[in-house]
């Protein structure tokens, strides 16, 4: 007779909270309920009782959550943005208005090209771009161009402009300043 001995899986509120927060920081696609629990006080359920099979299932779930993509062909999500900033492999273009940057701040290593200037900036000559924006002009073949704004709407528009001007590998950070501020405990509003 093959009997599975029940195990008490000691998953405290803090453990589940930390696991969920780490999964979210790494771009995990988890349910709205799990995301809510992670951001608002952790798990409210009692400790989980189960078998060895249940424990293995939980381990597989955590592995699946941590393997979520950090970017795709249009988007760079928060974990991917952090990775790119840390590696220096990014040309991060903030398309908000200068007043917004003065009021709220900037994401690390970004430079400002307001949305109304994006198309003209991408078509100007290298020396003019550098003189105006203080950075080298991105090349059309660069795969490290990332646009961002406050919440993803203007950066998506900038991305569409860039692609129409021949920058097929440009991306945007859909979370924008709001997600950056939230993840880094900064004022966002």
Contact 117, 154 (CB under 8 A): no
- Between CA 21 and CA 106 the distance in angstroms is 24
pLDDT greater at residue 116 or residue 4: 116
Ramachandran region, residue 56 (left: φ > 0; alpha: ψ -120 to 50; beta: rest): alpha
State the DSSP code for 110. E
Question: Beta strands 145-148 and 110-112: pairing type?
Answer: unpaired
Structure tokens at 160: 């569409």
pLDDT at 168 over 70: yes
Q: Active-site residue among 23, 146, 149, 170?
A: 149
What residues does 48 pair with on adjacent strands?
A: 9
43 is catalytic: no
pLDDT digits (tens, 9 = 90+) for 24-36: 444 444 444 444 4
pLDDT digits (tens, 9 = 90+) for 53-84: 444 443 333 434 455 579 999 999 999 999 99
Work out the pLDDT band at 52, boundaries 50, 70, 90: very low
What does the DSSP assignment read for 129-160? Answer: HHHHHSSPPPPTT-S-EEEE-SSSHHHHHHHH
pTM score, two decimals?
0.65
């Amino acid at each position: 007779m093959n009997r599975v001995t029940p195990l008490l899986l000691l998953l405290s509120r803090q453990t589940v909270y930390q696991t969920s927060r780490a999964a979210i920081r790494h771009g995990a696609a988890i349910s709205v309920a799990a995301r809510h629990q992670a951001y608002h006080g952790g798990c409210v359920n009692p400790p989980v009782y189960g078998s060895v099979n249940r424990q293995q299932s939980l381990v597989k779930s955590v592995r699946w959550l941590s393997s979520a993509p950090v970017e795709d062909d249009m988007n760079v999500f928060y974990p991917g943005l952090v990775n790119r900033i840390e590696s220096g492999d990014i040309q991060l273009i903030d398309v908000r208005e200068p007043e917004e940057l003065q009021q709220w701040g900037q994401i690390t290593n970004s430079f400002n090209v307001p949305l109304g200037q994006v198309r003209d900036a991408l078509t100007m000559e290298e020396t003019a771009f550098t003189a105006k924006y203080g950075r080298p002009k991105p090349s059309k073949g660069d795969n490290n161009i990332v646009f961002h704004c406050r919440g993803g709407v203007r950066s998506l528009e900038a991305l569409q402009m860039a692609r129409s001007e021949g920058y097929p590998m440009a991306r945007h950070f859909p979370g924008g300043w709001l997600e950056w501020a939230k993840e880094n405990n900064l004022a966002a509003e």
